[in-house]
Structure 1
Amino acid sequence: MNLSYELSDLEELTSNVKQIQDDMLEEILKVNANTECLGRFFHGSTDKESFKNNVPVVIYEDIKVYIERVANGESSNVISGEPITHFFLSSGTTGGKRKIFPVNDKYFEKKIFSEDLRSSILSKHINGAKDGKVVAFLNTRPLSKTPSGIPVAPLITSFIMSDYFKKRSSKCYASPDQVILCTDNNQCMYCHLLCALVQREEVVSVFAPFASTVIQAIKFLETSWKELCSNIRSGHLSEWITDLGCRDSVSVILGGPNLELADLIEHECSQKSWEGMITRLWPNIKFVQTVVTGQMSQYIPVLEFYSNKLPIISMNYASSETLLGINVNPLCKPQDVSYTFLPNMSYFEFQEEGNNDEIVDLVNVKLGCSYEVLVTKHFGIYRYRLGDILQVTGFYNSAPQFRFVRRKNMVISVFMEVTTEEDIMKALSRARVVLESSRLILVSFNAPVECCCVMEESFNALYRGFRNKDDSIGALEIRVVQEGTFDYLMEHFISEGSASASQYKTPMCTNSPEVLAILEDRVVARFFSDKTPPL
């Protein structure tokens, strides 16, 4: 990889945002103007002005019927002027409903470009970022197909099983490809950890799509380290690892018995405190790369605890619908991450929060304002509401930089107030202070009773006002659930085929009766605020 070449691409892209975006929209309209989904809005002219005036802003339910028609066997031309070769399956763990999105190889090509750019930026800021092994907690789920035979899977599974992944060098990973391709979550995680421990001196970074996956890996290690040490000491892989690809490839890495390494790992893992365990087990590690924005920000304190405050780097902003941006300042605090939008990924528009009348282009957003993203791309999605609310924090050349604020519909309304995902995250952050004073760590929502009042005090003025007025809102309740409940919830989503372990995101809010029943069935204690919050 030519580092200077990749970084010059970044400069060119971010310096010519308007032209690149205009050219992209022109190309999209030229290719897709005659599709049934898009063509019905044009009356002879398919220029930018006609697009803006005639094509409506849509949500998934508006285009679902067209997508399903292609999935069921009709021509791709129903939604796209280019062939549809894959459908990406959203996890459904954020918005509550699974969706499928049409894509073709252009998505993978752009993903490769984005990864190369990410690697170049990391190498610029961190010496030796590419000189060792990456512990990559990646896995797949079984691939399925639509009635018409088109593969359908989560983004990560689709990419890993594509020729694009196979053609890329995987020597940088501590785990062989056979482990990454394993569809059994437990076998895959065990083998990832075993390979990482055996090659501990070579490891320079940890990568996972989401911060929650890193925490899952550490919790898995907490319950499995004795068996892992036994494998390293004997030089033989546990018999319950039955996936032949895993057995053969990991046995090669395991080699023969290594008593010294087993004793070292056993000594570290048997200590009472696991603070700094990531750096204790992998002494040459330089950073952890994973998404820690949005609902994943709740895991930042836990990651800092286990990693001895290594740099926690959130590099990419992407979704099942499209790739969007990249973090050009990787060493910033994880709480301060902003993403620079890449104009060659999709055509982007922005609707200012609270103003449904005005939609602006990427180059016309205003500093400090919050917007919902609208996406138009080459295959089947036009002026689509992504559902993410972003705030403009600055510019890199002429490319806007955005901070992820929240999901648009992730709110709670008990009476007439609106409590957003961001409000909940702020309240949890304050609750952590209470726990940390007692040498405890908040993981997900398992909070003790003393957090109730602190959380209520952190909510917005409207909530506090209704809470103090005529019992319009009752006392906040915290329900403590059995240990392992959120792991069980993850297994539920995975077992029903909606996500792979590496793509799963614990829902911040949910109104799913099934999920609520799972949580309610595992409640072990209930606590209420014992006073109203100050106005």
Structure 2
Amino acid sequence: MSLGCDLTVLEELTSNAKQIQDDVLNKILNANANTEYLKRFLQGSSDKELFKKNVPVVSYEDVKPYIDRVANGEPSDIISGEPITAFFRSSGTTSGNQKIFPANNITFENILFAFSLSSVVMSKHVEVYKQGKVMSFTFTQTISTTPCGLPLAPGLTSFIKSEYYRRLAKNSTSPYQIILCPDTKQSMYCQLLCGLVQRDEVVSVGSVFASVLVQVIHFLENYWKELASNIRSGHLSEWITDLSCRESVSTILVEPNPELADLIENECGQTSWQGIVTRLWPKAKCMEAIITGSMAQHISALEFYSNKLPLVSPIYGSSEAFFGLNLEPLCKPQHVSYTFLPNMSYFEFIDVDVEGGTTSGEVLDLVDVKLGRYYELLVTNFSGLHRCRVGDVLEATGYYNKTPQFRFVRRKTTVLSVHLEPTTEEDLLKALARATVILESLELMLTGFTCYGDVSTVPGHYVFYLELKAKVNNNSIDDEVLDNKVLVECCRVMEESLNGTYRRFRRKNGSIGALEIRVVQQGTFDSLMDFFVSRGSSISQYKTPMCINSAEALKVLEDKVLARFFSDKSPPI
């Protein structure tokens, strides 16, 4: 597929999904049928029906030994007919374990194509998108190597540092060298500074994930006075020691600008930061970040900070493959569906029930899914994964031409349980939404959330960590201003929102204890992110874990607990 993306390409792709999917599988099988992995099942054949009959559905752990062998120096053709040129490292914040995935030139070409097409879609819906600049907060890590010497890094870092990224027409407020800076603090400061100096040109504010945008706003709260001072003097702070950053900023911060410094000080010095994004960047038409799945917890905070600018969730992808685009980018966050791009990989779907368990266990092709049904996603890609479970549960919501669209429902593996109850990510987000309504009625804003199942007591119970902030006066919360009655009510409505199995165990025989909320200090979730980043996660791909499994991560939270509250009665069945 050529890079010259336009809406005609999108129409061709989505109108011919079945043929394109067949062609993709044929190409993958012709290239990989004689790899050590596939030869066991296909004996060198590239027949599609034999593939579906003989090649098993697998998890990452099933193929990890083969991936590790290539990473350790054995030939690529153990798993891939195309040479493996890099390995992508997952963030590890969802499953608790970092994984590595093989990548090749086709992987990078697919990412380039998808981002290019996403930009075309945005230009269709946001009239000035191509004329203005995008203030996108992007960060990279130092690339390490596997034992065989191939690059190992998060997928976004690998892509940004590749030749492919430089071919992507991107009108960003941040010079390329600032994005490459491995020091996140220096990079974020310089990206903010460049964005403020070019404030009148910014038409979109974004990052890959919503959690990073919230982190950027917290960073601005701590550094706006210094940023204004730099702009007033025309000189960059001395603690920015990265020479590439200094040189890049000097091309944008070319002279003192006391008027802009006054404006920043006036806006950021007000008692409320409601609408701070539109006040500082008045021509911004939207905020771009993935806000589906666990990122939905940040919608309320971003709407507050942006005066309810449209929150655009443009893309759906993972370390395994790129999946699809949101073709209605200005829709409400709760209505986001992604149209799969049939040229990215070969996609299959296992029919599951609403709670994530398999029903018939039938494996369907992309074009054969049924609207309203829930599916677990499988991917066969160009770099060595075959019928591999991604771990996502999706709902088929519609069609664009002949290509299905899907709503992201939850991670299949992200569940909370202290007895026999299966609580899903979707359950947790519904409970959180109920609590958020109560908090907002008191002008409190949720700025961080996670949970875990505490089984150190009998019976075990759910613990929710909440970081709160006052909307008025932009103040942090301390234990003296927390209203016991309100937080107990939050506990109660959260329990009422959980599934029937949870409520029965909680009410009938005391197998589950009262739900607990632990309110933590302001900045706790920034510290949690720092913890995961220090262990190899990429800030650009960081997702606050919906459920905490790491004892060390729990300690980060526990050290900052301000107050504890419990539900005062069992929920109705």
User: TM-score over 0.5 for the alignment?
Assistant: yes
Q: Could you tell me which residue of structure 2 aligns to residue 50 of structure 1?
A: 50
The separation in 1 between residues aligned to 2:391 and 2:5, in whole angstroms, is 34
Q: Could you tell me which residue of structure 1 aligns to residue 548 of structure 2?
A: 510
1:162 to 2:162 alignment? yes
The correspondence of residues 248-267 of structure 1 with structure 2, limited to 5 A, is 248-267=247-266
Give CA deviations for 1:211-236 in whole Å, capped at 9, x if unaligned. Answer: 01111000000010000011011111
1:469 to 2:473 alignment? no
The separation in 1 between residues aligned to 2:4 and 2:93, in whole angstroms, is 39
8 Å Cα contact 1:426/1:458 also seen in 2: yes
The separation in 2 between residues aligned to 1:290 and 1:431, in whole angstroms, is 24
8 Å Cα contact 2:84/2:102 also seen in 1: yes
* Deviation, structure 1 residue 450: 3.5
> Secondary structure of the residue that 2:444 maps to in structure 1?
coil
1:141 to 2:141 alignment? yes
The correspondence of residues 274-293 of structure 1 with structure 2, limited to 5 A, is 274-293=273-292
Q: Could you tell me which residue of structure 1 aligns to residue 369 of structure 2?
A: 365
Q: Which amino acid aligns with 1:435?
A: L
Q: Could you tell me which residue of structure 1 aligns to residue 458 of structure 2?
A: none
> Secondary structure of the residue that 2:323 maps to in structure 1?
strand
Q: Could you tell me which residue of structure 2 aligns to residue 347 of structure 1?
A: 346
* Deviation, structure 1 residue 470: 2.2
1:382 to 2:386 alignment? yes
Q: Could you tell me which residue of structure 2 aligns to residue 409 of structure 1?
A: 413
The correspondence of residues 170-249 of structure 1 with structure 2, limited to 5 A, is 170=170, 172-249=171-248
The separation in 1 between residues aligned to 2:531 and 2:379, in whole angstroms, is 31
1:451 to 2:450 alignment? no
The separation in 2 between residues aligned to 1:449 and 1:221, in whole angstroms, is 33
Give CA deviations for 1:14-54 in whole Å, capped at 9, x if unaligned. Answer: 11111111111111111101111111112353311110111
The separation in 1 between residues aligned to 2:29 and 2:169, in whole angstroms, is 36
How has the CA–CA distance of structure 1 residues 46 and 333 changed in structure 2, closer, same or farther, with 3 Å as cutoff? same
Q: Could you tell me which residue of structure 1 aligns to residue 566 of structure 2?
A: 528
The separation in 1 between residues aligned to 2:3 and 2:347, in whole angstroms, is 28
Q: Which amino acid aligns with 1:419?
A: T
Structure 2: stretches of 5+ with no match in the other structure: 353-357, 450-465, 468-486
The separation in 2 between residues aligned to 1:449 and 1:230, in whole angstroms, is 44
Q: Which amino acid aligns with 2:67?
A: I
The separation in 1 between residues aligned to 2:302 and 2:109, in whole angstroms, is 32
* Deviation, structure 1 residue 247: 0.6
Q: Which amino acid aligns with 2:315?
A: N
1:107 to 2:107 alignment? yes
The separation in 1 between residues aligned to 2:126 and 2:193, in whole angstroms, is 26
1:433 to 2:471 alignment? no
Structure 1: stretches of 5+ with no match in the other structure: none
Q: Could you tell me which residue of structure 1 aligns to residue 499 of structure 2?
A: 460
* Deviation, structure 1 residue 412: 1.1
The separation in 2 between residues aligned to 1:4 and 1:500, in whole angstroms, is 30
The separation in 2 between residues aligned to 1:179 and 1:11, in whole angstroms, is 36
Q: Could you tell me which residue of structure 1 aligns to residue 7 of structure 2?
A: 7
The correspondence of residues 303-318 of structure 1 with structure 2, limited to 5 A, is 303-318=302-317
Aligned length: 532
Q: Which amino acid aligns with 1:37?
A: Y
Q: Could you tell me which residue of structure 2 aligns to residue 29 of structure 1?
A: 29
Q: Could you tell me which residue of structure 2 aligns to residue 94 of structure 1?
A: 94
Q: Which amino acid aligns with 1:262?
A: A
Moved more, 354-363 or 394-403: 354-363
Q: Which amino acid aligns with 1:157?
A: T
8 Å Cα contact 2:33/2:44 also seen in 1: no
Q: Could you tell me which residue of structure 2 aligns to residue 60 of structure 1?
A: 60
The correspondence of residues 493-508 of structure 1 with structure 2, limited to 5 A, is 493-497=532-536, 499-508=537-546
> Secondary structure of the residue that 1:19 maps to in structure 2?
helix
8 Å Cα contact 2:33/2:45 also seen in 1: no
* Deviation, structure 1 residue 5: 6.0
* Deviation, structure 1 residue 374: 0.4
The separation in 2 between residues aligned to 1:45 and 1:252, in whole angstroms, is 57
* Deviation, structure 1 residue 454: 1.3
The separation in 1 between residues aligned to 2:545 and 2:3, in whole angstroms, is 38
The separation in 1 between residues aligned to 2:41 and 2:333, in whole angstroms, is 43
* Deviation, structure 1 residue 356: 5.4
8 Å Cα contact 2:88/2:153 also seen in 1: yes
Q: Which amino acid aligns with 1:122?
A: M
Q: Could you tell me which residue of structure 1 aligns to residue 129 of structure 2?
A: 129
Moved more, 59-68 or 524-533: 524-533
The separation in 1 between residues aligned to 2:424 and 2:200, in whole angstroms, is 44
How has the CA–CA distance of structure 1 residues 3 and 67 changed in structure 2, closer, same or farther, with 3 Å as cutoff? closer
The separation in 2 between residues aligned to 1:360 and 1:151, in whole angstroms, is 35
The separation in 1 between residues aligned to 2:168 and 2:33, in whole angstroms, is 35
8 Å Cα contact 1:3/1:120 also seen in 2: no
8 Å Cα contact 1:431/1:451 also seen in 2: yes
The separation in 2 between residues aligned to 1:378 and 1:38, in whole angstroms, is 13
Give CA deviations for 1:347-402 in whole Å, capped at 9, x if unaligned. Answer: 00000112253101001000000000000011110000000000000011110000
* Deviation, structure 1 residue 435: 0.6
The separation in 1 between residues aligned to 2:318 and 2:44, in whole angstroms, is 33
* Deviation, structure 1 residue 3: 12
The separation in 1 between residues aligned to 2:252 and 2:489, in whole angstroms, is 48
Give CA deviations for 1:266-319 in whole Å, capped at 9, x if unaligned. Answer: 000000000011000011111111100000011111111111111111111010
Give CA deviations for 1:45-82 in whole Å, capped at 9, x if unaligned. Answer: 33111101110011111011110111011100111011
Give CA deviations for 1:414-453 in whole Å, capped at 9, x if unaligned. Answer: 2221111101101111101111110111122316443111
Q: Which amino acid aligns with 2:104?
A: N
The separation in 2 between residues aligned to 1:70 and 1:112, in whole angstroms, is 25
The separation in 1 between residues aligned to 2:350 and 2:81, in whole angstroms, is 27
TM-score of the superposed pair, with normalisation by structure 1: 0.97
**Which of 557, 563, 568 in structure 2 is aligned with 1:519?**
557
Q: Which amino acid aligns with 1:24?
A: V
**In angstroms, what is the RMSD of aligned CA positions?**
1.5
Q: Could you tell me which residue of structure 1 aligns to residue 531 of structure 2?
A: 492
* Deviation, structure 1 residue 483: 2.3
How has the CA–CA distance of structure 1 residues 4 and 104 changed in structure 2, closer, same or farther, with 3 Å as cutoff? closer
* Deviation, structure 1 residue 457: 1.1
Q: Which amino acid aligns with 1:381?
A: L
The separation in 2 between residues aligned to 1:22 and 1:47, in whole angstroms, is 11
* Deviation, structure 1 residue 192: 0.7
8 Å Cα contact 2:112/2:168 also seen in 1: no
> Secondary structure of the residue that 1:228 maps to in structure 2?
helix
The separation in 1 between residues aligned to 2:5 and 2:195, in whole angstroms, is 32
The separation in 2 between residues aligned to 1:45 and 1:355, in whole angstroms, is 31
The separation in 1 between residues aligned to 2:425 and 2:163, in whole angstroms, is 38
